[in-house]
Structure 1
C-alpha cells in the first residue's frame, strides 16, 4: 500500500503542485512543523547552558519532533485507510504536499529565465531564493552553477527522499523524514546558537538521506541516456571519483552525477554568510563557465530523472501486488 501511495503522490504533485489557494488558506505542512521546531528551540536551547546540556536538549527536541509528527501522520493514515478507495486517494493527496517536484522545477527555471531576460542582477535575485550562499559574490557562471547544484541536491532531499520514505513507511515515514529535514535546515547548521543543540538533527538527517542520495545519483545517470549531449558514462565516472569528496555525505552524489552528465565542474569553494567554504569540486575537469543554457539542460535531466523515479515506483507497486 505504501509504494502505491508513493506512486500516486508523485503523480499528483507533478500534475498539480501545491496550490497557492491552499497555501494561503491553511499554510503548508513544513510551516506547521517549522512552528513546532521554533517552539522547541526557544524552550530548550538556553544560551547559558553548557554544550553537553544543549546537545542533550537537542536530542530531546529531535525525539519530540519525530514522535509528534509520526503519531499525527499515523493516526490520520489509519483513519483514512479505513475507507479503502477514497481514503487511499486522500492519503496520496496529503502525502503529495511533502514532495516538491513542480516548485523545484519552477524555481530553477526562474533563474534561467532571469539570466536570459535581466542579466546578472536578475539572476542573482532569482538564485537567492533557492540557495544560501552570498549572491552578490556570484558572476553569471556562479549563478548558473548555484542553480544547477541546488536542483541536484534538492532532487534528492526534496523529492527522492520523501518518496522513498513514503514507500517504506507510508505517510508517517514521509512526514517524519520531512520533519527531520526541516529541523536540519532550521537548527542543524554550525552557528554559535545551534552547533550543539542542532547536532542530533543534522546527524540524523545525514543518516536518513543516505539511501535517497545514492538513488538520486543513479536516476540522474540513467536520465542522461535520454538527454541530447548528456553522458551517462561521464556521470557515473564523476559519481565514482568525486561524490565521496564532498563535505556532505549526501549532496555530492547527485551533484557529481549532474556535473559529469553535463560536462560541468560544480561545487568547489563558495561563500556562505561571508565565510569561504572550501569544498571539493564535483565533475573535476569539466567546464566551470556554466550558462543559462546549462541550467535548461540540467532541468531536462531533472525531469527525466523524476519521470524515471515515478516509473520505478509504479513498477514496484505492480510487482508487489502481483506477487502478493
Structure 2
C-alpha cells in the first residue's frame, strides 16, 4: 500500500474511532481483535514455553512464537486489505473500520475519565477501583495522589503505544502494518515480563516492542508538548525542559518520553517508585513539580490528550496533502 492510500486510510480510521470507539455490544458478541491475538499468544506460550528447558532454548522458542504470531496476523490482514482495495476508493471505508478497532483514542479517554469520576464521587476507593482497570500496579498501595498520578501516567504512556504507534504503523504499512504492531505490543504485554516463566521466552517480544514503539514515543511527546502550547493552563516550556532532562532516565526506553512531556506540561512529578503486585520498582521521577496530583489534574491531562489526538489527525492530513501534491 502506498502512502497516497495509507494516509487517507489513517485519517478515516482515526476519525471513525474517535467518534464511535469499539461498541461494547461487539465486544460482548465477538470479542476484540486484540483478544483474538491474545488467545494465539496464550496457546503458543503453553505449547512452546517449557519450564524445564534451558534458558537459550526458551529464548529461541519465544522468538519462534513471536514470528508465528506476526506471520499469522499479517497473513490474515494482507488479503483482507487487497480485497477492500480491489473495489476502488470506497474500499478505504471498510478497511478503515477494521483498522479503527486497533486504535484506542476513545476507550483510553473513557477509562482515564472514570478514574477522575471515581475520585470525585467516591473518594479513594472509587479511584482505586477505576485505576485498577488500566494499570498493573497494586491499587491498594496508592493514596488519592497516587491514583491520580497512575491515571495520568497511563494516559501518557498509552497515548504513545495505544494511539500514536498504531497510527504510525497504519500510515506506513496499512492494515498489515497496524496488525503486526498490535501483535508485537500484545505479545509484550502478555509474555514480555521479567518473571521466571517469561524472562527468556518473552525476551524477543519485549525487545521488538521497544524497537517498534521508539518513533511513536518521541512523536507522542512532541504532540503533547505542542498541545501544551495551545492550552493556557499548561506549560509547553516546562514540557520541553522536562522531556529533555528526564525522558532518558525512565526505566523504559519509550514510556519516559510521553510521561516526561505530560509531567512538565502539568507541573507534576510522575513515575517514581511504584509497586506492582508485591514488588516495589524504583524508578526516577519525571518532572520536578507537585506529586500530590488530583482529579482536576486528570481532567487537565485529558484536555491535553484530546488536543494531541486532534493534532495527530491534523498531522496525518498534512502528510496526505504533501504526498498527493
Is the TM value for this pair above 0.5?
A: yes
Superposed displacement of residue 21, structure 1: 1.7
Which of the residues 310, 313, 318 maps onto 2:313? 310
Alignment of 1:4-19 (within 5 A): 4-19=8-23
For the pair 1:205 / 2:223, whether they are aligned, the reply is: no
What does residue 50 of structure 1 align with?
54
Unaligned runs of 5+ in 1: none
CA distance in 2, matches of 1:167, 1:23: 26
Superposed displacement of residue 315, structure 1: 1.3
What does residue 186 of structure 1 align with?
190
The total of aligned residue pairs comes to 321
Superposed displacement of residue 60, structure 1: 0.3
Task: String of CA shifts for 1:12-37, please: whole Å, max 9, x gaps.
Answer: 00000001122122211001100110
Unaligned runs of 5+ in 2: none
Alignment of 1:235-274 (within 5 A): 235-274=239-278
Task: String of CA shifts for 1:109-144, please: whole Å, max 9, x gaps.
Answer: 000000000000100000000000010010000000
For the pair 1:288 / 2:304, whether they are aligned, the reply is: no
For the pair 1:71 / 2:75, whether they are aligned, the reply is: yes
Superposed displacement of residue 84, structure 1: 1.0
Secondary structure at 2:247's aligned position in 1? Answer: helix
Secondary structure at 1:209's aligned position in 2? Answer: helix
CA distance in 1, matches of 2:140, 2:47: 36
CA distance in 2, matches of 1:291, 1:228: 19
Which of the residues 45, 53, 59 maps onto 2:63? 59
Which of the residues 293, 300, 303 maps onto 2:303? 300
Which of the residues 121, 138, 142 maps onto 1:138? 142
CA distance in 2, matches of 1:179, 1:51: 24
Runs of 4+, deviation exceeding 2 Å: none
CA distance in 2, matches of 1:152, 1:124: 19
CA distance in 2, matches of 1:101, 1:301: 13
For the pair 1:90 / 2:63, whether they are aligned, the reply is: no
Q: Quick check: 22-31 or 9-18, which moved more?
A: 22-31
CA distance in 2, matches of 1:318, 1:214: 23
TM-score (norm 2): 0.98
What does residue 231 of structure 2 align with?
227
RMSD (Å) for aligned C-alpha atoms: 0.6
Superposed displacement of residue 227, structure 1: 1.7
Superposed displacement of residue 230, structure 1: 0.4
Task: String of CA shifts for 1:46-82, please: whole Å, max 9, x gaps.
Answer: 1010110000000000110111111211111011100
CA distance in 2, matches of 1:294, 1:154: 17
CA distance in 2, matches of 1:4, 1:305: 19
For the pair 1:100 / 2:89, whether they are aligned, the reply is: no
Superposed displacement of residue 233, structure 1: 0.6
Task: String of CA shifts for 1:163-214, please: whole Å, max 9, x gaps.
Answer: 0000000000000000100000000011111010000000000000000000
For the pair 1:152 / 2:152, whether they are aligned, the reply is: no
